Amino acid sequence: MDDFNSETDSDYTSYWRDWFISSRGNEYFCEIDEDYLTDRFNLTGLQTEVQYYQYALDLVTDVFDLDCDDEMRETIEKSARHLYGLVHARYIVTTRGLAKMLEKYKKADFGKCPRVMCKSHPLLPMGQSDNPNLKAVKLYCARCEDIYNPKSSRHSAIDGAYFGTSFHNILFQVYPAMIPAKSYDRYVPRIYGFKVHAPAALIRWQNGERDEMRRRLRKLEIESGFKDEDGEEIDDSEEEEEEEEELEGMQKAIENGQVVGVLWTRIERRNMASVTHHKLNTGATIPAVGFGTWQDKDSQEAAVAEALKAGYRHIDTARVYGTEPACGAAIKASGIPRSELFITTKLWNNKHKPEDVEPALDASLKDLGLDYVDLYLMHWPAAFKPGDELMPKVDGKIETADISYIDTYKAMEKLIATGKTKAIGISNFSRAELEHLLKETSIVPAAHQLELHPWLQQTEFCEFNRSKGIHITQYSPFGNQNEIYDSGKNIGKLIEDPTIVEVGKKYNKNGAQVALAWGVAHGHSVIPKSKTPSRIKANLEGDFKLEAEDLKKLDALDRKLRFNDASAGFGYNFYSDLDGKKKN
């Protein structure tokens, strides 16, 4: 990478695209017009693909002015390069983009075909996948119709998705005169002058894939049918039993404190392989099933410890719960690497003053015993009287404060640069409040936590969040299971709904597990809570796949029943435009 030390910050941010295009290793890229980069339509869907999307876009469009440390700046710089690449894939199939790439093609900026019969014909960059982070860029020769690896190591690490799988075809459709005549003499692979037998490549591929196929079939408990040299079917059962015994022995050793490090990692990967993760707009992933810690403050350390032992890696807490110290103690005692965990906590309503936001997070981090959290949420859009009292009251009523949630959120945005939280989000917002927030702030919330379950599906609102790149986390995923929800006492429990029970029988699952699976199937994360070890383990098994017909049955259960509405108690009108809002 070029050395920027001789340049000022102003120089660096004012000419980012010029620097990027002129840097060694970026010769394959063309310069994207500024009006294309600033048209939001052309950026549709990229918020969920790029970490710190807004900062990255600001850097690419030369309006970046965040004061941050070197580590944060490097992260944003990396995101800016990724964003530019993704937009580049869209731009080069436009009229202007094709014209620019054609000029580079004519000058052989992408290289020349190494085959003698192609007579140094120019190459074109292409991807073998339109999804990022899967395949590196390749070079295509239209004359011999073959693809090659880039000659220089500077280019071999470029993501193929930055050029896409169809660019070279579109170029020749738009400019048919550029289609070259095909070589009359085709290349024939030879070894020491002898032609390579045609099926040889297939045989090599089959041998290479054989072990992988056996492993997959074994996992599905399907006989492979593979034969050994004597024609006998290969029996994998003994090998599988040995592997199981080895891993079980490792697990016991870990529980007894006898082994850590590499062996832990091996078992951890095996245990976590089937856990569903959802992607956030920061680029990070969040485990689909988390562990909630609301209520039962005195029991939470043991409960969280049990959850971590069972396999949970997503822990949800909040300042107002009073469970942050318990969560921190359980996390520390578990010995699980911090990088394996996803920790969420929340800003409480009495700390909405912008100058109180960072100190509030500092206090949470201290109680958690952590250097950072993965997600920091604004618990409610309502502000209480600033101070140390969680529920400041006068004459039995909550004292509110005239503090805009916009100002509070802007203060939360600044936390990203400190490294104290990896992402920020919201909870319990209405659609109007969320639309206002998106209009007035820079960072799109990574997540929105709200009441959601088969009896309150809020389909349109969830789709609106999804369209903005905002992940949904469901609290109260069991509906009125909690005894505090008086409004649901006379209608039966959601997890005992006949349809939910019926679906559960098909999969040998209980109603709670089916309710969780419904949320996971819709791309949400769910945070059930319990202090009973057997239920803690059972809830984690709510991460299973529902068939389409069963998901459709559950989708038909929406009764628009909201059980958690703090409007009366908090002196604020929540959910004013959402399903389930009781009309006064």
Active site residues: 321
CA atoms within 13 A on the CB side of 431: 15
Using alpha carbons, select from 52, 96, 104 the residue that is nearest to residue 78.
Answer: 52
CA atoms within 13 A on the CB side of 84: 27
CA–CA dist 158, 25 (Å, integer): 8
Query: Residues 181, 160: contact at Cβ < 8 Å?
Result: no
- The β-bridge partners of 378 are 347, 426
Q: How many CB atoms lie within 10 A of CB 129?
A: 14
Query: Residues 292, 316: contact at Cβ < 8 Å?
Result: yes
| Exposed e or buried b per residue across 330-363, where buried means at least 16 C-beta atoms within 10 angstroms of its C-beta | bbeeeebeeeebbbbbbbbbbbbbbebbbebbee
Long-range residue pairs from 116-121, CB within 8 A, at least 24 positions apart, any chain: 117/144, 117/183, 117/185, 117/187, 118/143, 118/144, 118/183, 119/143, 121/180
Q: How far is CA 470 from CA 43, 279, 438, 579, in A?
A: 15, 10, 11, 19
Long-range residue pairs from 411-414, CB within 8 A, at least 24 positions apart, any chain: 411/354, 411/355, 411/357, 411/358, 412/347, 412/357, 412/376, 412/378, 413/441, 413/442, 413/443, 414/357, 414/358
